[in-house]
């Protein structure tokens, strides 16, 4: 055992020296200093293969979920829809997939399904209920999703990303268990692919921070909700990027992402609702001039008329299409099955992953040894 441990340690040290790479979702910091003691029910650290979170028993959801995204995470595995309770939590803390039933709120992923589509196992993990928040359907299926799509586009263009996502506020409970948040935030640190991320973060590092309302009034355009990390820190009391020097934090956390604001303000109204795009609604003009779409059950749902002007304004389409903006259009969601990066192979045996060496215990548990020499038990999948 000891020998194996040494071999693993050396393998890791070698790998990290040569590649300098750590995909630990918390490489940039643990925003709320979450810990693995069970007497921390409001800030309990859960490490899954693929993402790490701070669980809040009282909310029945995570305070935040953190993950690292790189090209190889995105593959061809279809959504497994494997909604399941998170069994790494004590039984009485767990949320069941049915706890959201009939509530009118979506089970909104924090770490998106598609961000873990390299293997079936990794995709299943994203369906753990600890990775879900009650999100208004329009937020989950449109605004929030378009930013998820955009992040994957950035990764497809040669970047990697560290992402923190969470929800805050309280407007009631689902099933007497799950707090319905008033808003959800996201902090996305974008870096060109490479090693030693922590050393590469400087005053010019791009950070996309958004804060979105959790209701149907939300605009489809995620850029409406750009904000600064400072603002989100003030609101949530978390400290993002705490492993980065104070000086650099001070610089990057006060900047609202600008690079997208040079775009003409056309986005929201000129792009037609796409036919057949999965989950994209098709707005229809009603006989009396109202604007509606058909819900899954076939009922007409009337919405703001501006949605229909997108469909009507067909003359604007070719002009928009031809213009070929260098900036990806976040509001034209990609079809789910569009081929992504061909080189995305499943990761090698993740025994030493995320900067840690995971060890299979004698009773089948999986753990790593933290800096104070303590065994920290984690999701068993990490040892596979
Ligand atoms: Mn979602
Ligand atoms: Mn900070």
Q: Which comes out higher in pLDDT, residue 350 or 53?
A: 53
Using the structure block, give the residue that is written with the tokens 């355009």. Answer: 221
- Distance between Cα 141 and ligand 1 center (Å): 6
Q: What angle do CA 313, 315, 318 make, to 5 degrees?
A: 120
Beta carbons of 180 and 173 less than 8 angstroms apart: yes
> Which numbered ligand comes closest to the C-alpha of 114?
1
State yes or no: is 109 an active-site residue. Answer: yes
Which residues are in the CB-under-5-Å shell of ion ligand 2? Answer: 239-241, 249
Q: How far is the CA of 97 from the centre of ligand 1 (A)?
A: 15
pLDDT at 274 over 80: no
pLDDT digits (tens, 9 = 90+) for 16-47: 434 445 689 999 999 999 999 999 999 999 99
The residue with tokens 């750590």 is: 22
Q: Give the ligand at the shortest distance from the Cα of 240.
A: 2
Output the DSSP codes for 171-226.
Answer: S-EETTTEE--SEEEEEEEEEES-S-HHHH--TT-EEEEEEEESSTT--S-GGGGE
DSSP reduced 3-state for 239: coil
How close are the terminal C-alpha atoms of the chain, in Å? 17
Report the predicted TM-score, pTM, of the whole model to 2 decimal places: 0.68
Single out the residue of 1, 28, 6 nearest to residue 242, CA to CA. 28
**pLDDT tens, 212-271?**
999 999 999 999 999 999 999 999 999 999 999 999 999 999 999 986 544 444 444 434
Q: What spacing in Å lies between the alpha carbon of 253 and ligand 2's midpoint?
A: 7
**Cα separations (Å) of 36 from 43, 58, 281, 333, 374?**
9, 16, 42, 38, 11
Q: How confident is the model at residue 302 (pLDDT cuts 50, 70, 90)?
A: confident
Of the residues 48, 68, 109, 307, which is catalytic? Answer: 109
What is the C-alpha separation between 384 and 380, in angstroms, rounded? Answer: 7
> 249: CA distance to ligand 2 center in Å?
6
Q: What is the reported pLDDT for 172?
A: 97
Tokens 């603002």 belong to 231
Q: What are the residues whose beta carbons fall under 8 Å from the beta carbon of 115, sequence distance 6 or more?
A: 67, 69, 73, 74, 126, 148, 151, 152
Burial degree of 373 (CB within 10 A; 0-12, 13-18, 19+)? exposed
Centre of ligand 1 to C-alpha 135, Å, is 8
Nearest ligand to the C-alpha of residue 238? 2
Phi first, then psi, for residue 189 (nearest 5°) are: -100, 120
Q: Measured between alpha carbons, how far is residue 78 from residues 4, 296, 336 in Å? A: 36, 21, 8
**Shortest-distance ligand to the CA of residue 247:** 2
- Return the half-sphere exposure (C-beta side, CA atoms, 13 A cut-off) of residue 105: 24
pLDDT, one tens digit per residue, over 315-373 is 333 333 333 333 334 444 433 333 333 333 333 344 555 556 667 776 667 666 666 66
| H or E stretch covering 10 | helix 2-19
Which is it for strands 159-168 and 61-69: parallel, antiparallel or unpaired?
Answer: antiparallel
């Amino acid at each position: 055992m000891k020998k194996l441990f040494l071999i693993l340690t050396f393998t890791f040290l070698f790998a990290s020296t040569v590649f300098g790479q750590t995909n630990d979702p918390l490489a940039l910091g643990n925003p709320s200093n979450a810990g693995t003691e069970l007497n921390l029910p409001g800030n309990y650290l859960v490490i899954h293969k693929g993402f790490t979170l701070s669980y809040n028993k009282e909310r029945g959801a995570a305070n935040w979920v953190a993950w690292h995204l790189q090209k190889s995470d995105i593959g061809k595995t279809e959504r497994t829809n494997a909604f399941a309770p998170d069994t790494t939590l004590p039984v009485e803390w767990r949320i069941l997939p049915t706890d959201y039933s009939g509530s009118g709120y979506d089970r909104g992923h924090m770490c998106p399904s598609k961000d873990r589509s390299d293997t079936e196992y990794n995709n299943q993990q994203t369906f753990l209920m600890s990775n879900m928040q009650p999100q208004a359907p329009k937020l989950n299926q449109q605004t929030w999703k378009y930013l998820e799509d955009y992040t994957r586009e950035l990764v497809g263009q040669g970047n990697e990303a560290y992402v923190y996502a969470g929800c805050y506020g309280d407007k009631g409970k689902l099933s007497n268990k799950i707090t319905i948040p008033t808003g959800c935030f996201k902090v996305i640190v974008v870096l060109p692919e490479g090693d030693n991320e922590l050393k590469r973060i400087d005053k010019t590092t791009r950070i996309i921070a958004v804060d979105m309302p959790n209701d149907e009034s939300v605009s489809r355009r995620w850029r409406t909700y750009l904000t600064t990390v400072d603002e989100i820190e003030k609101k949530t009391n978390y400290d993002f990027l705490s492993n980065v020097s104070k000086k650099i934090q001070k610089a990057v956390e006060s900047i609202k992402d600008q690079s997208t604001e040079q775009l003409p303000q056309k986005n929201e109204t000129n792009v037609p609702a796409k036919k057949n795009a999965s989950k994209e609604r098709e707005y229809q003009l009603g006989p009396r001039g109202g604007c509606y779409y058909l819900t899954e059950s076939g009922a007409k749902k009337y919405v703001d008329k501006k949605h229909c002007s997108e469909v009507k304004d067909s003359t604007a389409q070719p002009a928009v299409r031809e213009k070929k903006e260098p900036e990806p259009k976040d509001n034209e969601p990609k079809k789910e099955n569009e081929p992504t990066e061909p080189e995305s192979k499943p990761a090698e045996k993740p025994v030493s992953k995320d900067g840690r060496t995971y060890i299979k215990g004698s009773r089948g548990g999986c753990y790593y040894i933290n800096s104070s020499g303590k065994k920290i038990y984690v999701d068993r999948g990490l040892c596979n």
